Chain A
Amino acid sequence: DIVMTQSPDSLAVSLGERATINCKSSQSVLYSSDNKNYLAWYQQKPGQPPKLLIYWASIRESGVPDRFSGSGSGTDFTLTISSLQAEDVAVYYCQQYYTTPCSFGQGTKLEIK
């Protein structure tokens, strides 16, 4: 199974500043036949289910604000929030869907500094 490791485990950022969350997979999730990275990002606010933010590593889901962006390829990925808003306080998870079973990172807790 592919192991997903996020860093840091927690992060405190000032309002309006950039937040960066990293995700590393134990093997590449880049599928050579379609040149797509099978990597998604989710946001989970307290007491709520997860919400899909990004898929194919960099495609923003409909309705997700453009301050959220995803990048990376192969085994190393990044979720960036360009200007942190108060409503962005949440736990963020990366997920690989290159193989079955799909697997999630342990989560990164984002707070306001």
Chain B
Amino acid sequence: EVQLMESGGGLVQPGGSLRLSCAASGFTFSSYWMHWVRQAPGKGLVWVSRINSAGGGTGYADSVKGRFTISRDNAKNTLYLQVNSLRAEDTAVYYCAREHSSGHDVFDYWGQGTLVTVSS
């Protein structure tokens, strides 16, 4: 059974940093592109970042470029998102998601999410 489990969220002050993790199991993690998608409280879904299967290629939404860094450790079956210079508008549930085998930015499995709250 495919499982994705995020951790690392919490309350942080504006300008602060967190490292989000996503532990994957039940599939060959190293074969899949992975993504982060976020959802502000009561709002819709917004794509944040992607990383290719080997970890050598990444992409970011303009709103987080230069502040967030996606990475992965295929030996540990874990995806990461380093979030720096946090702003109030970064407050959201952050989901990790697996890219569908058909390719492109379709997400067939999602974690339960980890909440990041940016507030003083």
Interface on A for B, CB 8 Å cutoff?
38, 40, 42, 48-52, 55-56, 61, 93, 95, 97, 100-107
Contacts and interface: CB of A to CB of B under 8 A. Distances in A.
Contacts of A106: 44
A101 B47 contact: yes
A51 B111 CA distance: 10
Contact of B44 (A38, A93, A97): A93
Interface residues on B, range: 10 to 19
Nearest to A59: B102
Given A56-B102, A104-B47, 6 more contacts: A38-B104, A48-B112, A100-B105, A101-B59, A101-B61, A103-B47
B105 A49 contact: no
B67 interface: no
Dominant secondary structure at the A interface: loop
Given A101-B61, A105-B44, A55 B113 contact: no
23 contacts: A49-B110, A50-B45, A50-B110, A52-B107, A55-B100, A55-B102, A55-B106, A93-B45, A95-B45, A95-B106, A97-B105, A97-B106, A101-B59, A101-B61, A101-B62, A102-B47, A103-B47, A104-B44, A104-B45, A104-B46, A105-B44, A106-B44, A107-B45
Contacts of A48: 112
Dominant secondary structure at the B interface: loop
A52 B108 contact: yes
A40 B106 contact: yes
Nearest to A96: B105
Contacts of B112: 48-49
Interface in B36-65: 44-47, 59, 61-62
Interface in B75-120: 95, 100, 102, 104-108, 110-113
Contacts of A101: 47, 59, 61-62
List 10 tightest A-B contacts by C-beta distance, closest first.
A49-B110, A102-B105, A97-B105, A104-B45, A97-B104, A55-B106, A52-B108, A102-B47, A40-B106, A107-B44
Contacts of A93: 44-45
B107 A50 contact: yes
